[in-house]
Structure 1
């Protein structure tokens, strides 16, 4: 049976949230502190590490059933990833899609991918 594991999807992607937040801000305010993007990646990396150790690790410790080792990608997860990825690439290149919505679409894609993962235990 196919379950929709929304808690696993939200927790499993905590490390990516700083990345999506910075990209959304960069798209929304292009003439801002993000104009010199040389320092943006190290900042994202640092905030991702902070998110990992202050949010992700405690969440897994308090709820071991959300550990990545308990899940595998289902056929639906793979289909969502492939179709969503192709759709996003098509939107970017065919429609010259350049908008904060692209980052929301990417975030939705990774959340849906994990929401359809199989719980092996």
Structure 2
């Protein structure tokens, strides 16, 4: 992979994701939406979706489906749409939604 070309994408106005190290790449919200993911994803329902966009981490008992081939990061799917990317730590899925993008459902709905 040519890292120099990937670094230039940010200058073109497309933030696709970020490298955590040489082997681990985490997709941004937009990056996850651009891909048609068939493996390394989790599917969530309405209740888990509200928790996730509010900035909370997800737990294994909230997940409807897991298709994981041992990847460091998993795409989050809701209603058959890719919405973001998480990393798994035991039975918890860590939320990477930035503070400015989190929703307060008491104010929104």
So what's the TM-score if we normalise by structure 1? 0.21
Structure with the greater relative contact order (CA < 8 A, sep ≥ 6): 1 or 2? 1
Between Structure 1 and Structure 2, whose CA radius of gyration is higher?
1
So what's the TM-score if we normalise by structure 2? 0.22
Report the structure, 1 or 2, having the larger helix content.
1
Report the structure, 1 or 2, having the larger strand content.
2
